[in-house]
Amino acid sequence: MKKMLRTLLFFGPLLFGTSVATASLLSYEGFDYVQGAITGSNGNPLLDVNEDTLNGGFGWSDVWTARWPDGENYGNILDGSFGYSDGTNSVVTTGGALHLASFRDITRTFEPLGDNTYYFSVLVNNNGSDAAGRTRLRFTQTGQATLGIFEVGFTDDGTNNLVYRVGGDTPVTGVAPGSADENLIIGRFTLTDGTMSDIALWLNPSDLAGEGANTPISIAGTPGGGVGGILLHRQGGGDSGRFDEFRLGTSWDTAITAIPEPSTYAAIAGLLALGLVCLRRRRP
């Protein structure tokens, strides 16, 4: 028995420590695809330069799908990931980034979400969008590919101010000043009986170490309807429409923490197997 405990004490922190640290991260997309053009047509999967579907990350029930309008050119997978730092802490990133072509929407569906409090984050490069530009993240209603229940991003009035919209309401503009380059948007919402409520936002937080160190932007209104997935939207604006590092989880930390690579999970499995071998060999 003592030998078994010693083995568990050695392997336990390595195995379960990694598992606990990532347990609340539900959905992730780092746009880690082949660099180059992406193509698609309305209602069909997006394809990279190798004509592979864009189905990376985890926590999704389908692949990225092209939405309105028809047209083969949907943008590019950029070389290198975006980043954000508060001067001390940084968002951990991986892979490339997405640049949508003008007047392009793409959607993807979450695995089913139950009642809980959720946190999300996304890096958005507005690139000094002009008055014709719009770069936004939209949460879509369950069973609806494009119908939005909540939307956040950047305005199309020639500034870099944050914009949000609840349901079909008129967008609330000038919420907070953003950067002409890369911005980190963190949000929180609650699902109760399938209805989204209690929405809060943070734009470029000054302290990534914890939620309490930053003042949230309170959002009025209750969107209604269940959360089915997300839609990434770009309308005009030169080089606007750049997105990276979407996360959805159940804590603030999931908005900034590292994403385990497949090799990490392989290492965990290897440790578990090694532990079992040790136990068997030491058993009298």
Query: Comparing 126 with 232, which gets the higher pLDDT?
Result: 232
Q: Which domain range does residue 111 map to?
A: 25-250
What is the per-residue pLDDT for 261?
Answer: 45
Closest among 129, 147, 131, 127 to 139, alpha carbons compared: 147
What is the per-residue pLDDT for 10?
Answer: 37
Q: Is residue 11 in some structural domain? A: no
Q: What are 50's strand-pairing partners?
A: none
What is the per-residue pLDDT for 18?
Answer: 39
For residue 266, pLDDT over 60 is answered with no
Q: Is residue 277 in some structural domain? A: no
Query: How many whole angstroms separate alpha carbon 25 and alpha carbon 57?
Result: 11
Model's pTM, two decimal places?
A: 0.83
CATH number reported for the structural domain that contains residue 101 in this entry: 2.60.120
Q: Is residue 264 in some structural domain? A: no
Phi and psi angles of residue 166, each rounded to the nearest 5 degrees, phi first: -105, 120
Q: Is residue 243 in some structural domain? A: yes
What is the per-residue pLDDT for 108?
Answer: 97
Query: How many domains does the structure of the chain reveal?
Result: 1
Query: Comparing 158 with 93, which gets the higher pLDDT?
Result: 93
The owner of tokens 């695995």 is 111
**pLDDT band for position 131 (50/70/90)?**
low
Q: What confidence tens digit (pLDDT) does each residue in 208-218 have?
A: 999 999 999 98
Q: What confidence tens digit (pLDDT) does each residue in 50-74 have?
A: 899 999 999 999 999 998 766 678 9
Q: Is residue 104 in some structural domain? A: yes
Q: How many CB atoms lie within 10 A of CB 185?
A: 25
Using omega within 30 degrees of 0 as the cis cutoff, is the peptide bond preceding 69 cis? yes
Phi and psi angles of residue 105, each rounded to the nearest 5 degrees, phi first: -125, 145
Give the mean model confidence (pLDDT) for residues 3-8: 34
Burial class (CB in 10 A: 0-12, 13-18, 19+), 157: middle
What is the per-residue pLDDT for 52?
Answer: 93
Our CA angle for 24, 254, 206, nearest 5°, is 155
What is the per-residue pLDDT for 165?
Answer: 92
Q: Is residue 212 in some structural domain? A: yes
Q: Is residue 272 in some structural domain? A: no
- CA atoms 239, 162, 114, 93: torsion sign: positive
CB of 207 closer than 8 Å to CB of 196: no
Query: How many whole angstroms separate alpha carbon 55 and alpha carbon 128?
Result: 30
